[in-house]
Amino acid sequence: MATHQGRRRHAAFAGGLAIVALCLGFVASPATAAPPPPVDYVALGDSYTAGTGAGGLYRDAVCWQSEPGYVDVVAASGRVDLLSNLACHGALLSFDPLNPSPFYNGAPTVVEQIFSGQADLQKAELVSITAGAIDAGSLLALQACASPDTATCAGTVAGIRANLGSVTTALAGTYGLIRAAAPNATIAVMGYPRLFDPSQGDLVIPGVTVVPVANQVMANSAVDDLNKAIAAAVQLSGKNVVFVDVTKRFGGHAVNSADPWIVLVPVPVAPFDRLPDANFHPNVAGHQAYASALISAVKPAQLAKQ
């Protein structure tokens, strides 16, 4: 009985303290952590970061971009403050006028993007980039392998593999330039997805061509090798440079799947010299997948706490 009365007295005393606290305004509401501020974000690179395949297309001087690309999706998440997207359709890593690349189309190279964006990069806490595919010879591979010609596809893929060592070196140098320009940033290096699903059989593009399974396998292997070269360059670059692999995320969503996340339109809507070709680029769903991969890999909220 004494114990029961003691508990009642303790409860009454605690209730009295609560009333006093309320009167004095000392009771705190349940703590709710303020959301972290958005991190400053800059995007660099080629057509994948420029948004090609996403839909709306516009041109600023010599730079083609489309929206809503993955950069726009990330910006709309509220987790980043997009300072600038400097990426351009067709951008090479760099351009040597004494040894010009046959793939140079006048678009600002990644090196030019870095120099033009130094003010924003200096403030950046996050930088994302896709680059290296054109330098490695992806345009040649698509031309050779998206055809019935298996021998030419095999020879082209072999040539790309032979060139990947120099691509790794060039990429590592590029990441070094970004680190120097953006010393406070995490650099997210995005990989490329496999384009075909060979399990679907030969790909028939109405009125154009047939892409045999053998060519699909070789094209996918070329993408895998390119991603390995990119990952090797990231390893050479050290701290605050991370590789974001999208291969598994795009599984089941190749151009010849039932639910493609990659564009393949048989007849181009305009000549290539007038309008960038969106084929073999992520569509809207593909760009959303890229955005999810980036946010999952770098976790902007954690960057904001650093």
> Over the stretch 235-271, which tens digit does the pLDDT of each residue have?
999 889 999 999 999 999 999 999 999 998 875 544 4
- Interatomic CA distance for residues 86 and 104, integer angstroms: 17
pLDDT at 267: 59
pLDDT at 57: 74
* Residue-level pLDDT, tens digit, the chain, 306 residues: 444 444 333 344 344 434 434 444 444 445 555 667 889 999 999 999 999 999 877 777 679 999 999 999 999 999 999 999 999 999 999 877 667 676 777 889 999 999 999 999 999 999 999 999 999 999 899 989 988 999 999 999 999 999 999 999 999 999 999 999 999 999 999 999 999 999 999 998 776 678 999 999 999 999 999 999 999 999 999 889 999 999 999 999 999 999 999 998 875 544 444 456 888 999 999 999 999 999 999 987 777 555
DSSP state letter for 37: P
Written as six digits, the tokens of 268 are 């181009």
For the chain, domains (ranges, CATH) are: 33-299 (3.40.50.1110)
Which stretches of 198-249 are assigned E, i.e. beta strand?
Answer: 203-205, 209-211, 241-244
Task: Tell me if the bond preceding 148 is cis, omega within 30° of 0.
Answer: no
pLDDT at 37: 82
The pTM for the full model equals 0.84
- Interatomic CA distance for residues 45 and 193, integer angstroms: 16
CA distances for 183 relative to 20, 43, 48, 280, angstroms: 53, 15, 24, 34
pLDDT at 304: 59
* pLDDT digits 0-9 by tens, 59-107: 776 799 999 999 999 999 999 999 999 999 999 998 776 676 767 778 8
Determine the residue type at 225.
D
Written as six digits, the tokens of 192 are 């490329």
pLDDT at 25: 44
Side-chain-side CA neighbours of residue 288 (13 Å): 7
- Interatomic CA distance for residues 246 and 13, integer angstroms: 61
pLDDT at 8: 37
Distance of CA 229 to the CA centre of its chain: 16
Q: Which residues contact 233 (CB under 8 A, 6 or more apart)?
A: 132, 167, 168, 169, 171, 172, 175, 189
Burial category of 45 from C-beta neighbours within 10 Å (exposed 0-12, middle 13-18, buried 19 and up): buried
